[in-house]
A and B are shown apart, each in its own frame.
Chain A
Amino acid sequence: MGIMFGSELMESIIALIMVSTFMVLGSKQLHTSVSAFQFQSFLLACIAGIVAFSTGRIDIYIVAVLTLIIKAILIPYLFVYVIRELKVKREVELFINISPSLLIGGVLVVISYYLVRSIGNNSQLSSYALSTSMAMVLIGMFFMITRKKAISQMLGILIMENGLFLAAISLTYGMPLLVEVGIFFDILVGTLIMGVLIFRINTTFETIDTDRLTTLME
């Protein structure tokens, strides 16, 4: 792979994506987290746009547009809809407080950085993107297990998926279009089904706090 146009621009956008991940992790209000996620998805669409522009491949333009429509518009809208319909409390409820979570997030970033450094034969840009995406996967997972509400767990999964998308687009310049469309379809349907399930949980348990889901303990 040759040196890419705008790799400095890419690097700064990747840095912003990292910042947005910490915004999701550190905000006290649910809707701020959703906005941060929306911002992050928008940045990802920008990255896809740059890659498309520098390689001149039309299918990556399509991927950029799909990212914008599905991740930056449709899914955030779905979140706002669920929050409004279920009258979810605005403050997030968590098992670990904000400041220690941020600290743990920082540790996860350092771990991913060292893991990626051990892989040989990377360009600077790709190791930068890879460590950021691995950090996002880990932080998304950490976000999931420390939040009580079903809807926050859904947000955690989407952050993990954004991390994957970053790796896919910046390392391999996108995967074949058919595959990308399949992945988008899966994510969208998955989000919808989770949304429906959250409504089901709300009607059967009268709460969406997942620590109340204890019927099946052994």
Chain B
Amino acid sequence: MIKYLLLAPVLTGILCLISKKQKQIEIINLLGSVATLLLGLALVISVFQDGVIVTWKDVLFADAFSAYLVLIVSLVGFATSVYSVGYMGYEIKHGAMDLKRLRLYYCLFHIFMFSMLLVGVTNILGLWIAIELTTLVSAPLIILYSKKSSVEAAWKYLIICTVGITFALFGTILTYYAAVQVFDGSEGAIDWLSLVSVADQFDPVLMKIAFIFVLIGYGTKAGLAPMHTWLPDAHSEAPSPVSAMLSGVLLNCAMYAIIRFRTLTAPSTGTEFTSNLMIAFGLLSVGIAVPFIILQKDYKRLLAYSSVEHMGIIAIGIGFGGILGISGALLHMFNHAMTKPLMFFGAGNVLLKYGTKEIDKVSGVVRSMPFTGTMLLLGGLAITGAPPFGIFISEFMVLAAGFSQGNIISTVLVLLFIIMIFAGFFSHISRMALGTPNSDVRGEVSRWTLGAMALLMVFVLVPGLYIPPQLYEMIMKVVEVLVVP
């Protein structure tokens, strides 16, 4: 099952690369992402019915948390591949792209999907390889247009994330060393299940050093402050569908890695150590986003800084811990993964029609592009945590966990930051969406882009109104994997 799930995007990528016509490439892309989505859903169902899957010499493995990540990646991947048909089709029609680049784009897009799916379904060392692979595949996607600014952004991204990932590998090797000491001489196990089962016997000092390296390393990739400096550049310079994938799912993949290592570290060092670190990095991330969001001039950077904020909230939720904190953080991962791509899709449409990324030069989107404008407004409300959208619920859960754990100061700080971000962010978005159009822009980009946005809007709205029992049950199963006694 896992093998087929990994094979589907690779095959699609290769087929896209060797196709001749634009129509052909687009059809292969759509069929491929439908196949990936269906296989992903099949994996999720089989994990929740029959429990953990281990195949192929223990290299591939899937438990509830893996399935949860696979669900997020394949859902957003599907929506983005639909959006890409509209977005890239428009670019081709207006001469900003050629067929050669289109082929490369779809090929890399599906390999990118493969690398992110791999993050979820492998062991601790494979995880590192998969995350490094995501960097290597997404860097060429950022410089697709080879503009001066995107070359700079890609270089920063590649260098900073490679250094980060090197730190993470060091932490991983130290963890492996701790495991080798416990298993005494025989080859140390590297799959999550056997590691977790002996995690309480690890050398606590070694694990403390290992966790710091892992947190800084994967934290760089997850966009936690102060290692987030590459993020606004890369996410704003990439083509909009790529920005959606980077912000929506790639950040979650890195966060997944941190959360996994927390379950290995906390049994020996005590949860206080990991919690304090995660709360500190999380608070810094949310806090740093405030001024950059309020004073922002570029709407794609605005969305990128909002991603820094939300990654901070997830880290804080995990840091608060307990069933409420962890399930809140998990639900927040899902909600952010649905809402942020929706916003980037809307921003992409605006960029195509208005031709500028400056907030001040865009107004009246609701009138010129009614559907995109409405989605931007609603998405803006959703992403800043207004009811009745999903993010409101998950932020509420995280804050409630903070209060119930007695972390009053940090919880109040988060609450304050979130309110300031709400005001700053929403004033920018409403200025763009409302008012009279300042140029003769008329009409939507393409039906494909609208379909992708409508699909995501369902997932943005539903968890806010009521949490389906399936999703609830799923999150509870993941919490079981992650709670450290």
**Taking beta carbons and an 8 Å cutoff, which residues of A are in contact with B?**
1-2, 115, 118-121, 133-134, 137, 140-141, 144, 150, 153, 157, 160-161, 163-164, 167-168, 171-172, 175-176, 178-179, 182-183, 185-186, 189-190, 193-194, 197, 200-201, 204-205, 210, 213, 215-216, 218
Q: Give Cα distance in the complex from A150 to B292, angstroms.
A: 28
Asked whether B155 is an interface residue with its Cβ less than 8 Å from the other chain, the reply is yes
Q: What residues on B are CB-neighbors of A182 within 8 Å?
A: 125-126, 129
List, sorted by A's number, 10 A–B pairs whose CB atoms are closer than 8 Å.
A119-B206, A120-B205, A137-B170, A164-B170, A175-B125, A183-B128, A193-B158, A205-B148, A215-B149, A218-B292
Give Cα A46 to B481, complex, Å. Answer: 42
Residues of chain A within 8 A (CB-CB) of B162 are: 157, 190, 194
**With A115-B209, A164-B170, A213-B155 in contact, do A176 and B163 touch (Cβ < 8 Å)?**
no
A194 CA / B160 CA spacing, docked (Å): 12
Complex CA distance for A27 and B59, rounded to whole angstroms? 43
Against A, the Cβ 8 Å flags (1 = close, 0 = not) of B121-140 are 00001101100110110011
Assembly CA distance A189 to B203 (angstroms): 35
**Inside 8 A of A2's CB, which chain B residues have their CB?**
185
In the complex, are the beta carbons of B125 and A179 less than 8 A apart?
yes
Closest-CB distance, B385 to chain A (whole angstroms): 25
Q: Which of A118, A179, A213 contacts B126 (CB 8 A)?
A: A179
| Closest chain B residue, CB of each to CB of A157 | B162
A201–B156 CA distance with the chains assembled, in angstroms: 11
Are B166 and A168 touching (Cβ within 8 A)?
no
Report the nearest B residue to A144, measured CB to CB. Answer: B163
Residue of A nearest to B133 (CB): A186
Using A167-B177, A193-B140 as known contacts, list a sample of 20 further A-B pairs with CB atoms less than 8 Å apart, ordered by residue number in A.
A1-B185, A121-B181, A134-B170, A137-B170, A140-B166, A157-B159, A160-B166, A164-B166, A172-B176, A172-B177, A175-B176, A179-B190, A182-B125, A183-B169, A190-B158, A197-B158, A200-B146, A200-B151, A205-B152, A216-B149
- A135 smallest CB distance to B (angstroms): 12
- Known contacts A179-B129, A216-B237; A167/B159 CB under 8 A: no
The interface residues of chain B lying within 8 Å CB-to-CB of A205 are 148, 151-152
Q: Hey, which chain B residues are within 8 Å of A141, CB to CB?
A: 163
A114 CA to B125 CA, complexed, in Å: 27
A193 to chain B, nearest CB (A): 6
- In this complex, the interface size class of chain B, counting residues with CB under 8 Å from chain A, is 35 or more
A213 touches B203 (CB 8 A): no
A161: B residues at CB distance < 8 A: 166, 169
Q: Which residues of A contact B188 (CB under 8 A)?
A: 172
A216 touches B190 (CB 8 A): no
CB closest chain-B residue, reference A212: B152
Given A194-B158, A197-B155, A171-B125 contact (CB < 8 Å): no
Query: Which of B139, B206, B233 interacts with A193 by CB under 8 Å?
Result: B139
Are the C-beta atoms of B149 and A167 separated by less than 8 Å?
Answer: no
Is B107 located at the chain interface by the 8 A CB criterion? no
Structural contact, B136 and A186, CB atoms closer than 8 A: yes
Report how far A140 CA is from B159 CA in the complex, Å: 13
Chain B residues within an 8 Å CB radius of A218: 232, 292
Chain B neighbourhood of A118, CB < 8 A: 205
Q: With an 8 A cutoff between CB atoms, is B187 at the interface? A: yes
Residues 229-247 of chain B, each 1 if its beta carbon lies under 8 Å from chain A, else 0: 0001100010000000000
Chain B positions within 8 Å of A210 at CB level: 155
Name the interface residues of B278-313: CB closer than 8 Å to any CB of A: 292
A189 touches B136 (CB 8 A): yes
**Nearest CB in chain A: distance from B160 CB, A:** 10
Min distance, Cβ B125 to any Cβ of chain A, angstroms: 4
Contact assessment for A176 and B187 in the assembled complex, using a CB-CB cutoff below 8 Å:
yes
Min Cβ gap A184→B in Å is: 10
For window 213-238 of chain B, which residues contact chain A by CB distance below 8 Å?
232-233, 237
Known: A200-B151, A216-B149. A176 touches B205 (CB 8 A): no
- CB pair B163 A168 closer than 8 Å: no
Contacts of A168 in B (CB 8 A): 173, 176
Given contacts A115-B209, A172-B176, contact A201 B155 (CB under 8 A): yes
Closest chain A CB from B227 CB (angstroms) = 12
B-chain residues with CB within 8 Å of residue A216 when the two chains form the complex = 149, 152-153, 156, 233, 237
Q: Is B476 in contact with chain A by the CB < 8 A criterion?
A: no
Q: How far is the CB of B146 from chain A (nearest CB, A)?
A: 7
Min CB distance A180 to B, Å, is: 9
- Is there contact, CB below 8 Å, between A190 and B132? yes
Residues of B within 8 A of A163 (CB): 170
Complex contacts, B203 vs chain A, CB 8 Å? 119-121
Report the separation of the CA atoms of residues A157 and B163 in the bound assembly, to the nearest whole angstrom: 6
Chain A residue nearest to B295 (CB atoms) is: A218
Q: Known A121-B181, A179-B125, A204-B146; judge A167-B152 contact (CB<8 A).
A: no
Q: What's the nearest-Cβ distance from chain B to residue A214, in Å?
A: 8
From 359 to 393 in chain B, residues with beta carbon under 8 angstroms from any chain A beta carbon are none
CB neighbours (8 Å) of A150 from chain B are 155
Is the pair B237, A201 in contact by a Cβ cutoff of 8 Å? no
> Do the beta carbons of A157 and B166 come within 8 Å of each other?
yes
Closest 6 CB pairs of A and B: A182-B129, A179-B125, A186-B132, A213-B152, A215-B149, A160-B166
Partner of B159 from the list A144, A175, A179, A200 (CB cut-off 8 Å) is: A144
Rounded to whole angstroms, the CA-CA distance of A115 and B205 in the bound complex is 10
- In the bound complex, what is the Cα–Cα distance between A183 and B139 (angstroms)? 18
Asked whether B180 lies within 8 Å of A153 as measured between CB atoms, the reply is no
Task: Say whether B61 faces chain A, with CB atoms less than 8 Å apart.
Answer: no
Chain A residues within an 8 Å CB radius of B139: 193, 197
Provide the bound-state CA to CA distance between A190 and B162, in Å.
Answer: 8
Instruction: Give CA–CA (A189, B139) in the complex, Å.
Output: 12
Residues of A within 8 A of B181 (CB): 121
Contacts of B456 in A (CB 8 A): none
* Complex CA distance for A182 and B169, rounded to whole angstroms: 13
Does B143 count as interface, using CB distance less than 8 angstroms? yes
Alpha-carbon gap, A213 to B157, bound state (A): 13
When distances are taken between beta carbons in the complex, the residues of chain B under 8 Å from A140 are: 166
- Contact of B129 (CB < 8 Å), options: A164, A167, A183: A183
CB neighbours of A115 from chain B (8 A)? 209
A215 touches B170 (CB 8 A): no
